[in-house]
Structure 1
Amino acid sequence: MDLRGRGNSDGERFYVEAFEDYVRDVEAVTADVKLREPGLPMFLLGHSAGGVVACLYTLDHEAELTGLICESFAHELPAPDFALAVFKGLSHVAPHAHILHLPNERFSRDPKVVEAMDNDPLIAHETQPTQTMAAMVRADERLKKEFPLITLPALILHGTLDKNTKPSGSQHFYDMAGSTDKTLKLYEGGFHDLLNDIDKDSVIVDIKSWIDRHIPVAAGPRASTVRV
C-alpha cells in the first residue's frame, strides 16, 4: 500500500505530522482486507519506515495479526544523535523543508533497479521533510520502550550493507521483542531494498516459507499479506 504522500496516494509529498497518521492509513487498508477476505490470517510486512509503522500498528492491533515481518527496519538511522536532534528542532521552525535525500544507488545492487528508480517520477527525487524525519525519530523512541509488548511471531530481515538503515536496529528489535517466536535473518552484502536487490529470490522464498509455517492449519493454505 502507498501511505499518504507517497506513491499514488494523496497528500503533501513525503510529509506526515506523526507516524500515528500512517497507522490510521494501515487501519483503513486492513479493515478493507478483512471485509474482502474474512477469516483469513493476516500478515503485516513493513519495509524501512514502513517497519516502524507496522510495529506501531501491531502495538494497538496485535490480536488481528498472525505475524509481523520487518524488512530493512528503519529503527536505527546512520546519523549521529545530534543530527536526529536537529531534525526534531527544525521541525518546529521549518516543518515542510525537504532536507534528506537518499541516493538511489543505495537501494539495490541491481543497476536495472537503480535505473528504474531514477526514471520513476514518484520516487526519482524523493526528499524527506524535517517534520517527517522528526516524526520517525519520535516513533522510534516510543518503540524502543515498547518492543517488549510485541509478542506475536516476527520475521526480521536486513542487509548487512544497508546504508539507509542500520542492521543493528533490526538486531535491537529482535533482542527486545517480547515474542517467543522470532527470527532474524541478515543477508550478507544486501542493500536497503532486499525485495529488489540481486538476491531478491532467496528473500522472497524465506518470507513465503516463514508465512507458510505460520498459517494456522484450520485456515488452509491461504493468507492475506499487507505491505507498508
Structure 2
Amino acid sequence: MQTLTQPLSATFDVSNGQKVFYRHWKTADSPKAVVVIVHGFNSHSGYYQWTADQLVDSGYEAYALDLRGRGNSDGERFYIEDMNEFVGDVDQLVSIVKATHPGLPVFVLGHSAGGVLSCLYMLAHQDRVNGFICESFAYQVPAPDFAIAVLKGLSHLAPHAHVLKLKNEDFSRDATAVESMNNDPLIAHEVQPTRTVQQLAVADERLKKEFSNIQVPLFIIHGSLDKATKPSGSEFFYKQASSTDKTLKIYEGHYHDMLNDLDKEVVMGDILDWLNQRA
C-alpha cells in the first residue's frame, strides 16, 4: 500500500498584502523535475494529494497553490478581479520553485479554469517552463453564448453577485470523490461571481487570438463525458498551438476531474510517461 507523502505548507505575499497558500510534496532523493499544479473551480491544492503521491513515487517534486479567494488563501471567496494578477501568482510560485531547485526542469499542470490561467501564463512566461499539461481545459463551456454575454454585462453592474454554480456530481464518477467534495468546507456553497465568469470569458477571447504564440511542449487531455467543459475546446487549442511537440488525448467516458475520477490510474500513467520522456 502506498504511503501518503505529507506536504509541507507555506504562503507567499502578493501585491495587495494578501497571502497565497501552497503545498509542496518532496521526494526522498534528488528529484528529476518539478511539477507545478494550478487548480480550477470547486477545488484547491488539497485535491492533488493522490496525484502528488504518484509524482513523488516517480521522482518528481510537486507544488500546488490555492488561488486567491480559494482554499486556504486570502481574498474574497471565489472572486477574480483581474486574471493577470493570478498569472503573477503562478509566476511567483514558479520563481520559488526555480530558486529551490535551480537547473531542474519545471512543468505546469493546469486543470479547467486553472488550465486557462496556465495558458495565459504560457503566453507571458513559457520560456520559464519545460512543458504544459492541460487537463479538462475550460476554454469552451456548455453554456449558450447569450448567457455568457449576459453574465459579462452583469459583471459591470453587479461584479460580486454569485451566478454560476458547478455540480460536484459532474466532476467524477467516483462516489467517494463526490462525497468528499460535498463535505469539503473550503468549497461549500461555491458559486462563481459575475466578475469571475467575465474574466474567464475575456481570457478565452484573448486565447482564441493568441493560441498560436504557444510553443512549449503540450500534453492536452480531456474526458469525453465532461459536463463542465467541452472537449472541443481542448481540440481547438491543440490545432491552434504552434508547439512542434504536442499531444491530444480524449479519454472515453471520463468526467471533468480526471485525476479524481474512476480510472485515474490510466490518466496518471500517461502523464508520467509524457513527463519521463521530457524530464
Q: CA deviation at 1:4?
A: 0.5
- Pairwise CA RMSD of aligned residues? 0.6
Q: Deviations over 1:107-166 (max 9, x none)?
A: 000000000000001113211000000000000000000000001110001000000000
Distance in 2, matches of 1:9 and 1:39, equals 29
Task: Identify the residue that residue 124 of structure 1 maps to in structure 2.
Answer: 188
1:43 is displaced (CA, Å) by: 0.3
CA distance in 1, matches of 2:222, 2:136: 5
Aligned equivalents of 1:49, 1:93: Cα separation in 2: 23
Structure 1 stretches of at least 4 aligned residues deviating more than 4 Å after TM superposition: none
Residue in structure 1 matching 2:118, options 54, 57, 61: 54
1:94 lines up with 2:140 in the alignment: no
1:76 & 1:85 partners in 2: Cα distance?
14
The one-letter code matched in structure 1 to 2:84 is: E
Structure 1 SS opposite 2:90: helix
What is residue 218 of structure 1 aligned with on the other side? Answer: none
Number of the residue aligned with 1:139: 203
Counterpart in the other structure of 1:19: 83
Map 1:150-169 to 2 at 5 A.
150-169=214-233
Matches of 2:73 and 2:247, distance apart in 1? 32
Q: Which residue of 1 aligns with 2:255?
A: 191
Letter in 1 for 2:132: L
Partner in structure 2 of residue 219 of structure 1: none
Amino acid at match of 1:143: L
SS in 2 for 1:205: helix
Segments of structure 2 that go 5 or more residues without pairing to the other structure are: 1-64
* Aligned counterpart, 2:46: none
Tell me the residue number matched to 2:45: none
Counterpart CA distance in 2 for 1:48 and 1:169 is: 11
User: 1:7-46 alignment to 2 at 5 Å?
Assistant: 7-46=71-110
TM-aligned CA deviation for residue 76 of structure 1: 0.3
Q: TM-score, normalised by structure 1?
A: 0.93
Unaligned runs of 5+ in 1: 216-228
- For the pair 1:6 / 2:70, whether they are aligned, the reply is yes
Structure with the higher fraction of residues in strand conformation = 2
Letter in 1 for 2:275: I
**Could you say which residue in structure 2 is the equivalent of 1:203?**
267
Amino acid at match of 2:135: E
Task: Tell me the SS of whatever aligns to 2:219.
Answer: strand
Q: Partner amino acid for 2:181?
A: M
2:176: which partner in 1?
112
Amino acid at match of 1:124: A
Corresponding residue SS for 1:161: coil
What TM-score results when the alignment is normalised by the length of structure 2? 0.76
More helix by share: 1
1:213 matches 2:266: no
- Counterparts of residues 58-73 of structure 1 (less than 5 Å): 58-73=122-137
SS at match of 1:6: coil
Structure-1 residue corresponding to 2:237? 173
Deviation at 1:103, TM superposition (A): 1.1
CA offsets 1:194-221 (integer angstroms, 9 cap, x no match): 0000011111111111011011xxxxxx
| Overall identity of the aligned pairs, in % | 62
